[in-house]
Amino acid sequence: MSIFELLVIITYLYAVFVLQLESKVTYIKAGITKIIFLVLSLASLYFLITEQVANLPLWLRIVVYLPVIYLIFMIFTEDIYKFAKKTGLKSSRDKTYFVNNDLADHLYQAVEFLSKNQIGALITVERNDDLSKIVNKALMLNADVSKELLTSIFIPNAPLHDGAVIIRGDKILCAKAYYPSTKRTDLPMHFGTRHRAAIGISEQSDAFTIVVSEETGHVSITVNKEIEYNISRETLNLYFEKFLKME
């Protein structure tokens, strides 16, 4: 098997892997992965229908049968889950999650106001990774999340304007939180301190961070070491649905 043949198989397996862990990647990467999977699946279907599989080299036959194996796995996923549950194996699917709509509404309204008025902001929602080391060095608030409080914090020249706000649960835990800036050298020149800090915290935790640019009003998201710049309001809501979940 040549290096090229091995790379084709690895690419396919990677596509399947990313589809299974889609919540951990950006929407763009997940979309590209689905295209790869679709193309390979259609090619497999063609070879199976035309009965040309026997004429293919071994490595290509493996690629042809992989979608079939994957689809069989998907069909019986629920049965596998039930079996695991009966045997006492723990799974994250045993937990019931719901979107924190109140938090999403307050964040959406605040971001809409900040963006429209080109007020720079850095808002982080803590997820699984504990941010206490950063919180302990910030100004504690422990206040209910609201559009009014969030927007007043980031008003230019306000005492709490600099730094980030960290939200834990349904509380604004602190303000004036400072993150280590990313060391990446491949970022656009127009990315300022806030964008680099937002990427920095996403590199050290699974936190979900919203950045509002004071120069353009553009809204960006950082999560899992990735940044999606200048997103639409529809995309922002999709991120809320995906990452603002509670047990």
Closest to 195 in 3D by CA, of 161, 228, 150: 228
Mean pLDDT of the chain: 77
> Which pLDDT score, from 0 to 100, does residue 145 have?
93
pTM value is: 0.61
Sheet (strand 208-212) strand order:
139-144, 171-177, 164-168, 121-125, 208-212, 219-223, 226-228
What's the pLDDT at 25? 42
Q: Using one digit for the tens of pLDDT, what is the confidence trace for 95-110?
A: 444 456 788 999 999 9
Q: Decide yes or no: CATH 3.40.1700.10 for domain 98-246.
A: yes
Q: How far is CA 232 from the centre of its chain?
A: 15
Pick the more confident residue, 45 or 174.
174
What residue ranges do the domains of the chain occupy?
3-91, 98-246
Cα separation of 56 and 91, whole Å? 40
Measured CA to CA in angstroms, residue 241 lies from 27, 103, 134, 149, 173 at distances of 13, 11, 26, 23, 21
SS3 per residue for 112-140? HHHHHCCCCEEEEECCCCCCHHHHCCCEE
pLDDT tens-digit profile of 154-165? 999 888 989 999
Confidence of residue 24 (pLDDT cuts 50, 70, 90): very low
pLDDT average, residue stretch 26-48: 56
More confident call, 90 vs 141: 141
How many other C-beta atoms are found inside a 10 Å radius of the C-beta of residue 15? 22
Residue 47 has pLDDT above 60, yes or no: no
Residue 113 Cα to chain centre, angstroms: 24
